[in-house]
């Protein structure tokens, strides 16, 4: 089965740029979606199809995907961005199953 690997934690100072990676075998050939989850809340979509942003999501959130790594980039990080972030793909080689990365805890210092 397809595996997505994320760093457990990323720390960044306010106003700086945070980069959260999502590794997978030839992930560049797949569409990657990113979700933000704050404590006690349901996940919220922040990036879809590698780099598209849903309405209401700040332009500070961006995404890229190439080779074996997809990246969620958060510019000018704010305290309110502190949350868990998950990448997700569909594994079409395995009966079209959904796959999530293990999640990354973003801490704003």
Partner 1 sequence: EVQLVESGGGLVQPGGSLRLSCAASGFTFSSYWMSWVRQAPGKGLEWVANIKQDGSEKYYVDSVKGRFTISRDNAKNSLYLQMNSLRAEDTAVYYCARGGAVVTSAEFDYWGQGTLVTVSS
The answer to whether residues 47 and 61 touch, using CB atoms and an 8 Å cutoff, is yes
Nearer to partner 1, 74 or 103 (CB): 103
**Per-residue interface string for the shown chain with partner 1, residues 88-107, x marking contact by CB under 8 A:** xxx-x--xxxxxxxxx----
Classified as helix, coil or strand, 14 is coil
Per rule CB under 8 A, is residue 23 in the interface with partner 1? no
Please name the residue that has the structure tokens 């704003």. 108
CB 17 within 8 A of CB 74: yes
Examine residue 37 and tell whether it contacts partner 1 (CB under 8 A). yes
Which one among 1, 26, 56, 80 touches partner 1, defined by CB under 8 A? 1
48 scored as a contact of partner 1 (CB under 8 A):
yes
d(Cα 69, Cα 75) in Å, to the nearest integer? Answer: 19
Should residue 61 be labelled a site residue for partner 1 when binding is judged by CB under 8 A? no
């Amino acid at each position: 089965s397809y595996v997505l690997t994320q760093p457990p934690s990323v720390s960044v100072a306010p106003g700086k740029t945070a980069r959260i990676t999502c590794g997978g075998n030839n992930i560049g050939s797949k569409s990657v979606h990113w979700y933000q989850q704050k404590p006690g809340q349901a996940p919220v979509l922040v990036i879809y199809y590698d780099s598209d942003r849903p309405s209401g999501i700040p332009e500070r959130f961006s995404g890229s995907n190439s080779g074996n790594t997809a990246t969620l980039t958060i510019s000018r990080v704010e305290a309110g961005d502190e949350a868990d972030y998950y990448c997700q793909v569909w594994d079409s080689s395995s009966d079209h199953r959904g796959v999530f990365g293990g999640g990354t805890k973003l801490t704003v210092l």
